[in-house]
Chain A
Amino acid sequence: GQQVMQIPQYQHVQEGEDFTTYCNSSTTLSNIQWYKQRPGGHPVFLIQLVKSGEVKKQKRLTFQFGEAKKNSSLHITATQTTDVGTYFCAGSEYGGSQGNLIFGKGTKLSVKP
């Protein structure tokens, strides 16, 4: 079945450093979503990518969808303490059922001030 792998599992950075998390799927995706979960909180939707090679930006966050639609990345420039949390990617297969959004295991980001 479809698998979504996410690396790294943990990332510790100094405030001001950049951060990147990568998501890889065993199958071609119709789209990919990214969520952020603050410590003790619930996942919150950040963005959805649909097109091959798509790049979207939200302030210091840059999201990319690979040309083959099998991988994606989230890059944060100049991290801040407010970026702390776990970042999840979630992929959906073509022609899959409505409940086929498969989550990666997440990358937990800690930022040292």
Chain B
Amino acid sequence: DAGITQSPRHKVTETGTPVTLRCHQTENHRYMYWYRQDPGHGLRLIHYSYGVKDTDKGEVSDGYSVSRSKTEDFLLTLESATSSQTSVYFCAISESYAFSGANVLTFGAGSRLTVL
């Protein structure tokens, strides 16, 4: 597997507290993504980045912000966590495959967040 690390792997927090999840890659891939996975909903894109300081919203971006100050790091922040944000969060990275028009994703191990 590609070098992609998520931290923390598990976190329990209380409603209203800020939370930051970190994704670190050693592959120098251009694209980085944050997904959340919930039972019955599959994988849903929160935000993605196509370069340093270049980010865009995904399907479920409300309540989340991201930052990418270095190629290797992509941070996901919940400014004020809510119970509905209890989920498993996956970071993914990819290089563009120009011939296919779409990226193939390599996922991190996931971060399980519980908001009480």
Contacts and interface: CB of A to CB of B under 8 A. Distances in A.
Interface of A: 6, 30-31, 33, 35, 41-45, 48, 50, 88, 90, 92, 94, 97-99, 101, 103-106
Contacts, number: 63
- List 6 tightest A-B contacts by C-beta distance, closest first: A105-B42, A92-B102, A99-B48, A103-B43, A42-B107, A30-B101
A98 B83 CA distance: 30
A98 B100 contact: no
State the majority secondary structure of interface residues on B: strand
B74 interface: no
B106 A45 contact: yes
Given A43-B90, A101-B45, A106-B42, A31 B109 contact: no
Given A42-B108, A42-B109, A98-B31, A50 B100 contact: yes
A35 B35 CA distance: 14
B56 interface: yes
Contacts of A41: 109
Nearest to B45: A99
Interface in B69-115: 90, 96-97, 99-110
Contact of A103 (B44, B50, B104): B44
30 contacts: A30-B100, A30-B101, A31-B100, A31-B101, A33-B104, A42-B90, A42-B108, A43-B43, A43-B90, A43-B107, A44-B1, A44-B107, A48-B97, A50-B100, A88-B42, A88-B43, A90-B105, A92-B102, A98-B50, A98-B96, A98-B103, A99-B33, A99-B45, A99-B48, A101-B45, A101-B103, A101-B105, A103-B43, A104-B42, A105-B41
Contacts of B41: 105
Contact of B102 (A44, A101, A104): A101
A43 B1 CA distance: 11
Contacts of A104: 42
B90 A45 contact: no
A31 B40 CA distance: 24
Nearest to B99: A50
